Structure 1
């Protein structure tokens, strides 16, 4: 395929979630509210962890990185979607579309790897509590976070380069609110076999590999918990891990439904709704899931609010 054909399309039109004019304002207000909650909630988690020496532990270091990834993840798609709701053109440039695809894939993978690392943290804390400080040192924590970044960027680069080789001829309308892989492949006029193959091989290994690691970690945790004679002790451990498992179930359930199926069976309408779950709803819920059942976070928040009150009202 020559270069002239590949540059036939210089921009795309993002059709958004709905094309009905009467739904635009309610959708704008709804997603603006969810985006504001996401940014403020995750930013508060980061500030609490940074400002509280008691929270400078591996568990909360990973949680602060997850909160930062959530902020960036949602910011990759939602601001452009909000802008397009009242835009007459709703366009995004070809390079802007590829950039959005890259950062979306990268940050989704980042969340995936961070959840796996957090599962390992809980495994060591519960199954090897006495050796926890020796195993999860600051150096190892930094190495794991760096590895999450490296693997995420390599994963995103692969799929973005494969997307860049596709040809888009006449139809430049993307029936989605951002440049997602399957909607772009649906409107391509060249073969998407290699793209689909890599999603179902490398993508499955990356996503399901982390999921298998999480399941294995929690299988060991459950085995260790069942040996605890105290019912109260069992409940305390399960409540600690419950928030993490909730996030894992929502994220992996939606990712699997959208991507790990044949392109021919992909439904754009259903795909948009499910995609909203893991691009907007899950990042918004994470601060509440991790804080409402976490006494350390709630204690740090109360101290933070007390300091703010004293500084303003003496």
Structure 2
């Protein structure tokens, strides 16, 4: 009976700031950003797919990362655009759980893809003679499947655990269904909290530690090597590190601080959430489009051909 009630319940988003006054401004800005996200990420993916010299593991992982950004944005932007034009910002609990699952599954995939990219760079720079042996097409496909499938399965388990909980509150302080969804439950069980922390450790913390160790090893070897190796390390590794730092900082707010119950002024929470939604998906194609030499070359050629 409780499950049936939960499915038909509606959750109200209370995190919007003066949406009645600025609804059309919000709508235009977010629609413009959403279009830019789709166009910029899709352009880089198209270039990688269309040019044979970009059919290498490093660029394949970049394409996967950009596709992940588009999916992440699509899980939030359409609902936000509807909310800006609506009198009430509401969502069914079932749809809220689905958005929750999508956000955290794709967020976990982001860290795993960055970890796969760091491993690819490590083998390329530190073990160049063994690169073709380690980074085969099969191994690349396995890494991609793991990066998307494992977080998705973890997300489904979290949703199933949450769906069984009875709701005693129907208002979220944010503008999307994030980790604060647990505050709606009448009872917060240890099982769900422990599961969330375990997932956080091996889907976020461990991949981040692996990435940092890997790049530290790369830079140590590059420092001891010739100028060409140092140039290659800086050119291909720095963009990945910048993306990692950017996404990690935004994730700390959404996952850790909100989960710990840290209270923020409404305007601060609103701005931080918008940063996560707007900044990062646009940041990736800019970094990879401008900082990766081969991609930038094809990108420049593409725009030069346009009338």
Task: Give the Cα–Cα distance (whole angstroms) in 1 for the partners of residues 243 and 230 of structure 2.
Answer: 21
Q: Deviations over 1:148-205 (max 9, x none)?
A: 1221111211221222122223x422222211121x2223322254333322232222
* Cα contact 1:76–1:103 (8 A) shared by 2: yes
Taking the TM superposition and a 5 Å limit, the aligned residue runs for 1:96-115 are 96-115=95-114
How far off its partner does 1:233 sit?
A: 4.7
1:256 paired residue among 222, 233, 252: 252
What's the TM-score once normalised by structure 2's chain length? 0.91
1:298 paired residue among 288, 296, 300: 296
What's the TM-score once normalised by structure 1's chain length? 0.89
The structure 1 segments of at least 4 consecutive aligned residues displaced by more than 6 Å after TM superposition are none
2:79 aligns to what?
80
Structure 1, gaps ≥5 residues long: 310-314
User: Structure 1 residues 85 and 192 mapped into 2: Cα distance closer, same or farther (>3 Å)?
Assistant: farther
- Residue 167 of structure 2 corresponds to residue 172 of structure 1: no
1:23 aligns to what?
22
* Cα contact 1:16–1:85 (8 A) shared by 2: no
2:194 aligns to what?
197
- Residue 213 of structure 2 corresponds to residue 211 of structure 1: no
Structure 2, gaps ≥5 residues long: none
2:182 aligns to what?
185
Cα RMSD after superposing both structures: 2.2
Task: Give the Cα–Cα distance (whole angstroms) in 2 for the partners of residues 37 and 8 of structure 1.
Answer: 34
User: Structure 1 residues 4 and 220 mapped into 2: Cα distance closer, same or farther (>3 Å)?
Assistant: closer
2:160 aligns to what?
161
Q: Deviations over 1:116-140 (max 9, x none)?
A: 1111111111111222122101111
Deviates more, 1:26-35 or 1:60-69: 26-35
* Cα contact 2:47–2:295 (8 A) shared by 1: yes
How far off its partner does 1:266 sit?
A: 4.8
Q: What SS does structure 2 have at the residue aligned with 1:255?
A: helix
Aligned length: 305
How far off its partner does 1:211 sit?
A: 0.4
